[in-house]
Amino acid sequence: MDNAQAMTALAAGIAVLAGLGAGVGMGYATAKATESLARQPEAKGPITTALLIGLAFAETTAIYGFVIAILLLFT
């Protein structure tokens, strides 16, 4: 393995770390949404809507990191 391949593999590994951050963020958001629903059940609609939009954005970040890692490894 030459230096360029090693650096590409390292960059792909760093890009995959976006999934770690997204997972932590989604867990934290879900915990806070559950906590807020326990405190104020009548606000279920707005809390659920905000949670789903936030989870979609976090998941998009993880998918972008995965796509970048795949592109770095196979191109």
At a CB cut-off of 8 Å and minimum separation 6, what does 37 contact?
43, 44, 47
What pLDDT is attached to residue 48? 95
Our count of domains for the chain comes to: 1
Best CA proximity match to 60, nearest among 25, 30, 33: 25
Containing structural domain, residue 54: 3-74
Residues 48-62: tens digit of each pLDDT: 999 999 999 999 999
- pLDDT, greater one: 24 or 18: 24
Q: CATH number, domain at 69? A: 1.20.20.10
pLDDT exceeds 70 at position 22? yes
